[in-house]
Amino acid sequence: MDLKTLSFIVVGATFAIYIAIAIWAKASTTSEFYVAGKGIHPTLNGMATAADWMSAASFISMAGLIAFLGFTGGAYLMGWTGGYVLMALLLAPYLRKFGKFTVPEFIGDRFYSKTARIVAVISLLVMSITYVIGQMRGVGIAFSNILEVELATGLYAGMAVVFIYAVFGGMKGITYTQIAQYVIMIFAYTVPAVFIAIQLTGHPFPQIGLGGTLAGEDTYLLDALDKTLMDLGFAAYTSVAGMTMLNMFLLTLALMIGTAGLPHVIIRFFTVPRVRDARKSAGWALVFIGILYTTAPAVGAMAMYNFINTVQPGPVGDPQGNVIIEERPDWMLRWERTGLLQWEDKNDDGRLQYYNERNTEFAEMAREEYGWEGSEFTRIDRDIMVLANPQIAGLPNWVIALVAAGGIAAALSTAAGLLLAISSSISHDLLKGVFMPRISEKRELMAGRIAMGAAILFAGYLGLNPPGFAAEVVALAFGLAAASLFPTLMMGIFFKHINREGAIVGMLVGLASTLLYIFLFKGWFFFPGTNVFPDTADYWLFGINPTGFGVIGAILNFAAAYAVSSITKAPPEHIQKLVEEVRVPRVGTS
Amino acid sequence: MTQEESRAAYWRANLRLLAILLTIWFVVSFGFGILLSQQLNAFSLGGYPLGFWFAQQGSIYTFIILIFFYAWRMNVLDRKFDVHEE
């Protein structure tokens, strides 16, 4: 059976599973729609959280990013997992104890202010909408690259499926679908990784293989990779390259704080029955995430090693050392068709060279000694590293079809979680909380469904017509989560004296400073060409990359909230009591 | 001990646990995985330079252990201060 038919069957089968779950898990109350009736087992919730959290970016892009960054790629690995420690220790159990439906609801009640609630809704909407665009696009891209259908067709198919299970099932439908999606996703990610680890190192576990020796040799894989890269003028894989130590530090911290402040992940902890389930569930979430996140660095390094050895099978500098263009492998042909891989035979030797042409000393030497006229790969999209991996390793077609289904599952599960956060903040926080407090439960449920449907259409539209800033979107969403929601939630629990005025000013300062800094370098509202300063290290304030600025925004939020709270009236008695109650799982009897 | 004192003691015990766990969280990721990584790379774990291992493997394992330890320890504290759930 050819790859295309096989891929359609595998992806179609996964869609059938999602729809079957939707029929089985229909939500009939607002509690089921918003928080799955608070009846999800902590381990299953951990699995759903993992799927909710791991997006198209984790599944498709992260390993490629690490492959080209090497050691400093660890910022993404640590940043996107370390945030769970903050979430588990500082937020999840207390917000579960509070026992309501949404994140802005906590902020509104704790800071006894509808204004605070609305500011929180605005931050939530800005970050969730920017984030969901990338997911919808991810669905379309996975379809068009692997199933070879139009991007729009893939997007419509994805939207239709999400519509069915998210609109009818709400959080309940989304949770059970996410559990299925996690299983598909992790299987799709680890199967090729295991095969490749066995081929290269003889170890079935990629985590061990990355630290092992090459199969049948005494050389360690990482040492071989370091040497191969340095022979071609690149920095060693295990050395600090690609970003400075300061930016690695700040990026890691910004991603951690941002992760902990993402509302669509936080609300997952509202679905478990008890406070202690929320604590344990965060641990399970990280176990399930960790399976992919500890595999990713092996996938990245091994893909890099395989790629270079395909291009440069012989010694560097030997005229016969590089791959002959006519004999290049099938996977290259396949990805050339998508435009994601491009080359140009600059020195007309009929072979392909890949090296670091920006290393002037090496490039100079290569020109004189080897006759190389520049690195001949003019485009290697990092995203193809994961998608092409099974083909590079020569794995059977069903594995490639599985990777397609996994990528789509990753994007759909995250999109559904974000769409729920968006629709619940509109129907529960804005409609019920602010504009129509006396709305009946039945009508609120209907409003939630309509908001969900509208959010899907809106996200789909933006996925089809992206505002030209898809790449910066994730950085923005994390920066905003770090600078606005996380500090306010944490202060709401740990600092009793922070009051309404402090929280509102803090959130606005955090939001505004982070947006401003990003816009200065990336352009106002991301319109190309409207940036005030070039986006290079020379112009960054103290050398801080806009991606890592969320940390500074968070610090400003804390400082502003503290300063304003100490010169305005302390929170009323009943709020201080509320904070004390949130801090204990059950009010004591002694 | 009055209920108020008991609650205050529970909260202090919680904060002490958080301080210890967050210190480990910081030292392992930002310390071993970033700031001290180059020095630690002088040692190795199989084929992994140690600093590299912390940045790409070890810190993730540590995070998982930290959260489960926290969950277990808080359950003990909940019972000790009689604030545990049914």
pLDDT digits (tens, 9 = 90+) for A407-462: 888 888 888 889 888 988 888 888 788 888 888 888 888 888 888 888 888 888 87
Residues in chain A within 8 Å Cβ distance of B33: 74, 78, 252
Are the beta carbons of B35 and A245 separated by less than 8 Å?
A: yes
**Structural Rg of chain A based on CA atoms:** 25
What is the DSSP pairing of strand B48-49 with strand B44-45? antiparallel
* Residue B1 at interface with chain A, using a CB cutoff of 8 Å: yes
State the average pLDDT over residues A347-375: 89
A71: chain B residues, CB-CB within 8 Å: 37, 51-52, 55-56
CB-based contact A585 B81, cutoff 8 Å: no
Kindly determine whether residue B59 and residue A274, on different chains, have CB atoms separated by under 8 Å. Answer: no
CB contact under 8 A, B67 and A84: yes
Looking at the complex, does the CB of residue B20 fall below 8 Å from at least one CB of chain A?
Answer: no
With bands split at pLDDT 50, 70 and 90, how would you rate the model's confidence at A527?
A: low
Contact B49 A77 (CB under 8 A): no
* Residue A229 tokens, joined: 């890269």
pLDDT digits (tens, 9 = 90+) for A217-269: 889 999 999 999 999 989 999 988 878 888 889 889 989 999 999 999 999 99
Residue of chain B with shortest Cα separation from A252? B30
CB A537 within 8 A of CB A543: yes
Identify the CATH assignment for A3-305+391-583 out of 3.40.50.2300, 3.40.50.300, 1.20.1730.10, 1.10.3720.10.
1.20.1730.10
* Predicted pLDDT at A467: 59
**Closest Cβ–Cβ partner in A279, A287, A294 for B74:** A279
* pLDDT of res. A466: 66
Q: What is the ipTM of this complex?
A: 0.96
**Chain A: residue nearest B61 by CA?**
A290
φ and ψ at residue A242, rounded to 5 degrees? 90, -35
* Residue B58 with chain A: CB contacts under 8 Å: none
Q: Is the pLDDT of residue A76 over 80?
A: yes
B32 touches chain A (CB under 8 A): no
Note the pLDDT of residue B14: 94
A540 close to A247: Cβ distance less than 8 angstroms? no
Distance of CA A411 to the CA centre of its chain: 9
Q: Does B41 touch chain A if contact means CB atoms closer than 8 Å?
A: yes
Ramachandran region, residue A529 (left: φ > 0; alpha: ψ -120 to 50; beta: rest): left
Instruction: Please name the residues in contact with B17: beta carbons below 8 A apart, sequence gap of 6 or more.
Output: B70, B73, B74, B77
> What pLDDT does residue A528 have?
65
pLDDT value at position A287? 96
Residues of A in Cβ contact (< 8 Å) with B83: 584-588
pLDDT for A590: 38
- Rg of chain B in Å (alpha carbons): 18
Domain ranges of chain B: 3-80
Determine whether the interchain pair A586/B35 forms a contact, defined as Cβ–Cβ distance below 8 Å: no
Q: Is the pLDDT of residue A325 over 60?
A: yes
Q: Do A89 and B82 touch (CB under 8 A)?
A: no
Which residues make Cβ contacts (< 8 Å) with residue A43, sequence separation at least 6?
Answer: A281, A284
pLDDT of residue A256: 94
Inter-chain contact A276–B78, Cβ cutoff 8 Å? yes
* Average pLDDT of the residues of chain A: 86
* Distance, CA of A86 to CA of A44 (rounded, Å): 21
pLDDT at A589: 43
Q: Is A241 exposed, middle or buried (0-12, 13-18, 19+ CB in 10 A)?
A: middle
A565: left (phi over 0), alpha (psi -120 to 50) or beta: alpha
**B22: pLDDT confidence band, cut at 50, 70 and 90?**
very high
With an 8 Å Cβ cutoff, are B47 and A211 in contact?
yes
Task: Give B74's contacts in chain A (Cβ within 8 Å).
Answer: 93, 276, 279
By C-alpha distance, the chain B residue nearest A298 is B56
In this prediction, residues A377-403 reach a mean pLDDT of: 82
A478 within 8 A of A255, measured Cβ to Cβ = yes
Contacts of B18 in chain A (CB under 8 A): 89-90
Where do the structural domains in chain A lie, given as residue ranges? 3-305+391-583
Those residues with Cβ within 8 angstroms of residue A1's Cβ, 6 or more apart along the chain or in another chain: A397
B38 CB neighbours in chain A (<8 A) are 240
Poorest-pLDDT segment among A76-80, A556-560, A578-582: A578-582
Q: Do A249 and B29 touch (CB under 8 A)?
A: no
Average pLDDT over every residue of A64-78: 91
**Of the candidates B63, B82, B85, which has its C-beta nearest A286's C-beta?**
B63
The answer to whether B61 contacts chain A (CB < 8 Å) is: yes
**Dist. CA A135–CA A473, nearest whole Å:** 11
The b/e string for A460-488 (b: 16+ C-beta within 10 A; e otherwise) is bebbbeeeebbebbbbbbbbbbbbbbbbb
Asked whether the beta carbons of residue A290 and residue B45 sit closer than 8 angstroms, the reply is no
With tokens 């399976």, the residue in question is A291
Confidence of residue A146 (pLDDT cuts 50, 70, 90): low
Distance to chain B for A479, nearest Cα, Å: 19
